[in-house]
Amino acid sequence: MIHKSSVVHNNAKICSDVEIGPFCSIGENVKIGEKCKLHSHINIQGDVTIGSNTEIFPFASIGSVPQDLKYKGEDTKVIIGSSCKIREYVTINKGTKGGGRVTMIGNNCLMMIGTHIAHDCLIGNNVIFANHSTLAGHVILKDNVVVGALSAIHQFSKIGEGAMIGGMSGVTADVVPYSTVVGNRAKLSGLNILGLKRRNIEKKEISELRKVYKYIFHNNQNTLRERVINMKQKEFKEQTIQIFLEFLSEDSDRSFTLP
């Protein structure tokens, strides 16, 4: 059902059971999956694909040109997964030629009021953004990340799986999986134990992850990279530890957030 006051381009691909409320503007290259609901006063332009069961609240703007002076009108896109909730005043910019041409958001993500997702960001599944959290361009967030209210993440930073960014934090470096960071500028404050428990990670595995975390970040022996190599040689079977160590082994554009 499309409200008579909304403007939907004839070439837009809208599933028949999508609800579009009053005063929405939907562009030519927009594709909206089944059972989506757009409340009112929503602007979606450019090459945008939105998965099924996604709900968008008033005054959201999706697919607008990136806030990047290098952008010269090239064809880029936004891809949003299924079962997302996009609250009021959220802005999601499309990608750039130099950044991979796509801004991508996974499934079951919640973007609370005023969240900004800049160009070329890659967001995993089950990610939560609290009110007015902000991502600069080229940021990568893995699955199950929580970004606290009024926080900002620097461009090219990477946030590991299950990490939690404390409210009002300024993140300028990569954040390792399953950790918590807080402050301006943000510092590593420990493991995200609450998040691990919510995902039903066994106590024994959490205990082993704690030991690895403590060895790597609270140990003055050798360099950080050497400590990571030492831990990888142990060939842990726990998936959380494997993900944790693999993240630390990858190349980083921003170094790592430290205690």
Active-site amino acid positions: 119-120, 137
Dist CA 226 CA 228 (whole Å): 5
Dist CA 54 CA 232 (whole Å): 40
Residues 6+ apart with CB under 8 A from 164: 145, 146, 148, 179, 180, 181, 192, 194, 195
Tell how strand 61-64 and strand 110-111 pair up: unpaired
* Single-letter amino acid code for the residue at 236: F
Dist CA 128 CA 108 (whole Å): 9
Tokens of 173: 């470096």
Dist CA 108 CA 75 (whole Å): 27
